[in-house]
A and B are shown apart, each in its own frame.
Chain A
Amino acid sequence: MTDTMSHSDQQHSVDPRDPRSLRVKGSNPSRSIALAGVLLPLLLAILWEAAIRSGWAVGRLMPPPSTIGATLWELAKSGELQLHCLATLGRVLAGFALGALFGTMIGAAAGALVVVRRLIDPTLQALRAVPSIAWVPLFILWMGIFETSKVALIAVGVFFPVYLGVAGAIEGIDRKLIEVGQVFRLSRWAMIRRVMLPAVLPAWIIALRSGLGLGFMFVVAAEFMGASEGLGFLLVDGQQMGKPAQILASIITFAVLGKLADGVLVMVSKPLLLWQDTARGAL
């Protein structure tokens, strides 16, 4: 009688030695769904191209994809595009690093210590409500019009989502898991390293991702402050010189760069989050 009982709660499981046996199958359908996302912009581009080729539209202010492509190609051939991309990426990375570092540290302090939270959170929340562009004149006065003020502006943009995400995640750590650490008498440091850090990791990575996204938004504002290189400069230059194709080319480059940077962040963090019990695999 006990023999049959002892197996009763594994009756649905598969071969325990094959870790993939429980994974949701069907990566092929999900891949074709991902391709479906490209379909709409592709279709719109073809339609617009056709409309201009057939003379149905002029496309002076909204150039066809072929013209934008040609502009991109010329910019790339002359090395300009790479120069502007590197300038923009460098600013975003520097600002992101600073903002993420301070956001994580101050967020951790605010999440862990009530005193710190009471002291600084209201001020930070008020500062967060300030629109990014509003800082521009002040930062230029303080730090000049060169790189420092730009990086500072981006760092401010990255700081807030990271701060909020980390503080919230630490505040929300499950007390029950902390108790498991207490039962095994973890030291304060071991508790942070073995329980708290892994517990906040998923939220931290999401915070970094939204921080990075805001970093790309703020870099445009920063490069509007007056820059001689960078994708933001290309935008302003295109407007002043009346070159809509150049504006669209930089917008597309922004989209690609932002998506790539986010992709890198996701890829780097993926092995750290294999354990997560999310619905993503089943959707």
Chain B
Amino acid sequence: MLRLSGLSKTYADGTEALRDISLQVGKGDILALVGGSGCGKTTLLRLIAGLDIPSSGAITVNGETIKGPHPSIGIVFQEPRLLPWLTVAGNVGFGLAGLPPQERQARILHALEKVGLAGYDQRWPRELSGGQQQRVAIARAFVTEPKVLLLDEPFSALDAFTRASLHDHLLLLWAETKPTVVMVTHDVEEAITLADRVVVMRPRPGRMMETISVTLDRPRDRLALGFDKAKRRILHALDRSLQPEKAAPTQKGADNASHWW
């Protein structure tokens, strides 16, 4: 399905953001990327979305190499990024310009209903709360029925209750077309709630450190025993990812660690 092989990214100023990322995500799988800041999570998503070009390595979707933005890849950014001059319906249908008006309208209304915003189609983005705007952004990404959906910390600016409700809406939409999902998050519980696999990344340069499978049944209960176990494993891996690489921590390394936490 989605395959990353030997992906590296070095920026023009010499900063090495990502080193040798190889990953394979099956159809309909949800993969979460977690890690400290500066571990290249967002860079990785931008490469898959075709918004940046990798320095080396390749990205393929169903065997097709990705060289730029691709119709089968959708993305939800950290901010809603709605176009303020379009109504909610106009924003959701932004990527459907080629469709006949009736089908376009039907798809827009369906997606809005799924994210719990039925009746909001003629509103302006400025009239919506942050959580509602982000739901419009999610609808906009889903409505084109991408095969791969990228989520770049889309819930990070929201409060815990709104976030939990958006997780439900997201899973509801995901269940319809079962796209492959790659999401970046810094919220370990969010990763376990949503993902089949959690990849812990190590910063500077960004590398993959450990992959943890989450095999709990959906819908996932935060209070279940398995949930807590998975959380411990990921937190432990995160802890190690932020340790200096050599086993014996030097004075400098300890400083680094305290800087991270």
B187 → chain A closest CB, angstroms: 16
Docked CA distance A180–B92 (Å): 12
Contact (Cβ within 8 A) A5 B69: no
Q: A198-B83, A198-B85 are in contact. Are A183 and B119 (CB under 8 A)?
A: no
Residue B81 CB within 8 A of the other chain: yes
Task: Pick the contact of A177: B75, B81, B164 (CB < 8 A).
Answer: B81
Of the listed residues A7, A9, A22, A277, the one surrounded by the most CB atoms of chain B closer than 10 A to its CB is: A9
The residue in chain A whose Cβ has the minimal distance to the Cβ of B91 is: A180
Contact (Cβ within 8 A) A6 B51: no
B194 → chain A closest CB, angstroms: 14
Contact (Cβ within 8 A) B162 A9: yes
Contact (Cβ within 8 A) B165 A5: yes
Residue B156 CB within 8 A of the other chain: no
Q: Using a Cβ–Cβ cut-off of 8 Å, how many residues does chain B contribute to the interface with A? A: 44
Residue B232 CB within 8 A of the other chain: no
B169 → chain A closest CB, angstroms: 8
Docked CA distance A22–B124 (Å): 11
Task: Pick the contact of B81: A5, A22, A176, A199 (CB < 8 A).
Answer: A176
Contact (Cβ within 8 A) A276 B168: no
Contact (Cβ within 8 A) B95 A184: yes
Give the size range of A's interface with the partner: 20 to 34
Residue A2 CB within 8 A of the other chain: yes
Residue B116 CB within 8 A of the other chain: yes
Q: Contacts of B117 on A, CB cut-off 8 Å?
A: 16
Q: A6-B116, A275-B124 are in contact. Are A177 and B165 (CB under 8 A)?
A: no
Residue B174 CB within 8 A of the other chain: no
The residue in chain A whose Cβ has the minimal distance to the Cβ of B96 is: A184
Q: Contacts of B15 on A, CB cut-off 8 Å?
A: none
Residue A78 CB within 8 A of the other chain: no
* Binary interface encoding of chain B residues 103-134 relative to chain A, with 1 for a CB under 8 A from any of its CBs, else 0: 00000000000001111101111110111100
> 13 more A-B contacts (CB under 8 A) besides A9-B159, A16-B117, A276-B126?
A2-B164, A2-B219, A5-B161, A13-B132, A176-B77, A177-B83, A183-B69, A201-B85, A275-B84, A275-B85, A275-B86, A275-B126, A277-B126
A-to-B contact residues, CB < 8 Å: 2, 5-10, 12-13, 16-17, 19, 22, 176-177, 179-180, 182-185, 190, 194-195, 198-199, 201, 274-277
